Amino acid sequence: MPMDPLDVITNTEKIVPYYQAIFSADEQKVIGYEILGRIHMEGEYKSLGFFFHDDSIPEEYRMEVDDTVVKKALEEMKELDDDLLIFINRDPNLLMIDHGESFLNLLLEEKEKGLDLNRIVLEITEHNYLGDIEQLHHLLTYYRTYGIKIAIDNIGKESSNLDRIGLLSPDILKIDLQPLKLASPSQSYFDVLFSISLLARKIGATLLYEDIEANFQLQYAWKNGGRYYQGYYLHYPEREFIDRCVLKERLQQEFNHFIQFEKKKLETLYSYSDQFHQRVSQLVNKYKKAISQFDELITHLAEELGDMSFRIYICDENGFQKSGNIFRKEDRWIFQKEYYMKNWSWRPYFLENIIRMRVNKKGFLSDLYSDIETGETIRTFSYPLDDDHYLFIDIPYSYLYEQDGLL
């Protein structure tokens, strides 16, 4: 039976904080706690999440209950190690009602009692904010002068505006991994997470993956730049604090498994890359001496590499195509002369890869990416023909799927 909000408002003495531990990848121990609200009713502790997210409840009541939870928590956390972070959730719309003054005053009162504000991490959900983003930005900038850190919450769960997140310049980005529980999350979900990880790197933010409920989610978080982790798979919220090293041995074992898996995958990838290099080198040497035209060369290569490629072309060191495309459509190769002299230097990593081939004198496999024209997940094998010309062989998903370690 749903709880009546009035029961919460009239029983504030029964409100207590719960604490969900946050673990670090680098030390494999608890680095902080997120404060969660609970109320002791009918013999059990019930979540106050419904209360804080119900816009029909008057703002002053929600703020009062929020403050009650935080004050009790900060009192209980005084005896903890002074390097533990304290994550406090706030609805940005409620925060801005008085331009953040009441929340800051609450913290300043605790500072007078010995609280180091450098330990405070204010969590807000950016996509819930309805006001002027510039005003929120100014408030958060002001908070930072006191040492307060900023975390943007629930990224990945709802639509998030990367421009707004970039403007707010958070110290921590909390990425929700609940969608990973779906049987087949959309590729766009992974693309968004990848974009967020790039943004985090650019603005110097730490990634915290939350809602981790299974080993594979932890592995995803570890592999994709997560420094901090939170979720039921690691530890449920509890009324009491826990031993900071409670999961150290388990996390070390799991990370070691992830490391061995990833190393094996990388070794396999390098092995494939070396095999491709040997195969392409032999074919180039076979045809290059007898053929002076690049279009003829890629046509012959297509006939030899039909099992592993669907597009082949040649560019100079500045990214201009010096051949057309040879492209496999269904079961036959077609020549696309309209691609001659198109320039690809604008593509990410293109010039970097050219220099890499020139220096190493060797071909290599790209990472996985979505092809602009076909939309499928592919890799590209790049190969230096000479100091000025470079061969590109696009490998289809169907081939990658059949090989162990290429996806």
* Residue range(s) occupied by CATH 3.30.450.20 in the chain: 279-402
The C-alpha torsion from 39 through 41 and 45 to 47, rounded to 10°, is -50
In the prediction, which pLDDT does 348 show? 84
CATH (one of 3.40.1280.10, 3.40.50.300, 3.20.20.450, 3.20.20.70) for 5-233 = 3.20.20.450
Per residue in 104-141, pLDDT tens? 999 999 999 999 999 999 999 888 888 899 999 999 99
pLDDT at residue 404 above 90? no
8-12, 279-283, 297-301: range with lowest mean pLDDT: 8-12
Three-class secondary structure of residue 80 per DSSP: coil
* Residue range(s) occupied by CATH 3.20.20.450 in the chain: 5-233
If you average pLDDT over residues 21-42, what whole number do you get?
96
3-state secondary structure 256-312: HHHHHHHHHHHHHHHHHHHHHHHHHHHHHHHHHCCCCCHHHHHHHHHHHCCCCCCEE
In the prediction, which pLDDT does 156 show? 64
Using CA atoms, how far apart are residues 128 and 159, in angstroms rounded to an integer?
10
If you average pLDDT over residues 297-320, what whole number do you get?
95
Using CA atoms, how far apart are residues 198 and 166, in angstroms rounded to an integer?
11
CATH (one of 3.40.640.10, 3.40.190.10, 3.90.1150.10, 3.30.450.20) for 279-402 = 3.30.450.20
pLDDT at residue 43 above 60? yes
Q: Are strands 369-370 and 377-384 parallel, antiparallel or unpaired?
A: antiparallel
Per residue in 49-60, pLDDT tens? 889 888 889 999
